[in-house]
Amino acid sequence: MRLSGKHIVLGVTGSIAAYKAAYLLRGLVKEGAEVQVVMTPSAKEFITPVTMSALSGKPVASEFFSANDGTWHSHVDMGQWADLMLIAPATAATLGKMASAVCDNLLITTYLSAKCKVIIAPAMDLDMFRHPANLRNIEILRSYGNLIIEPGEGALASGLHGKGRMEEPENIVEEVVKFFSQKKKLLNKHFLVTAGPTYEKIDPVRFIGNYSSGKMGYAIANELALAGAKVTLVSGPVEIKNTNPDIQVIRVESAKQMHEKCVSIFPETDGAVMCAAVADFTPVSFSDSKIKREKDDLVIQLKPTSDIAGDLGCLKSENQILVGFALETNDELSNAYSKLQRKNLDLIVLNSLNDTGAGFGVDTNKITLIGKDNNPAFFELKSKTEVAADIVAAIVSEMEKKRKIQA
Active-site residues: which are they?
Answer: 210
308 interacts with ligand C5P by CB under 6 A: yes
Q: Is 276 in the site for ligand C5P (CB under 6 A)?
A: yes
Q: What share of the chain is helix, strand, coil (3-state, %, to 5)?
A: 35, 25, 40
CB atoms within 10 A of CB 72: 11
Site for ligand C5P in 59-98 (CB under 6 A): none
Among 169, 89, 96, CA closest to 121 = 89
Buried-state track 370-387, b at ≥16 Cβ within 10 A, e below 16: bbeeeeeeebeebbbbbb
> Which residue minimizes CB distance to ligand C5P?
308
Residue in 3, 17, 255, 350 binding ligand C5P, rule: CB under 6 A: 255
Residue 221 contacts ligand C5P per CB under 6 A? no
Query: Considering only 158-166, 239-247, 272-280, 393-401, which stretch makes contact with ligand C5P by CB under 6 A?
Result: 272-280
- Which one of 49-57, 130-138, 274-282, 356-364 is the stretch in contact with ligand C5P (CB under 6 A)? 274-282
Is 52 or 278 the residue whose CB approaches ligand C5P more closely?
Answer: 278
Q: How far apart are CA 283 and CA 260, in angstroms?
A: 18
If binding means CB under 6 A, how many residues of this protein chain bind ligand C5P? 15
Which x/- pattern, by CB under 6 A, does the window 166-195 give for ligand C5P? Answer: ----------------------------x-
Q: Which position among 10, 47, 166, 326 is part of the footprint of ligand C5P (CB under 6 A)?
A: 326
Q: Does 337 bind ligand C5P (CB under 6 A)?
A: no
Taking CB under 6 A as the rule, does residue 208 contact ligand C5P? no
Binds ligand C5P (CB under 6 A): choice among 274, 340, 347, 367: 274
Taking CA 167 as the corner, what is the angle to CA 177 and CA 148, rounded to the nearest 5 degrees?
70
Strand pairing of 161-165 and 190-195? unpaired
Q: Does 339 bind ligand C5P (CB under 6 A)?
A: yes
Q: Does 325 bind ligand C5P (CB under 6 A)?
A: yes
Does residue 270 bind ligand C5P (CB under 6 A)?
A: no
Q: Pick out residues in 369-388 that bind ligand C5P (CB under 6 A).
A: none
Burial level of 107, CB count in 10 A (0-12/13-18/19+)?
buried
| Residue 152 to residue 164: CA distance in whole angstroms | 6
Q: Where does residue 210 rank: exposed (0-12), middle (13-18), buried (19+ CB within 10 A)?
A: middle
Q: How far apart are the first and last CA of the chain?
A: 30
Give 233 or 278: the residue with its C-beta nearer to ligand C5P.
Answer: 278
Closest to ligand C5P by CB, 275 or 391? 275
CA 279, 280, 286, 290 torsion: positive or negative? Answer: negative
Cis-peptide, bond into residue 169, ω within 30° of zero: no
Q: Which residues bind ligand C5P (CB under 6 A)?
A: 194, 255, 274-276, 278, 280, 305, 307-309, 324-326, 339
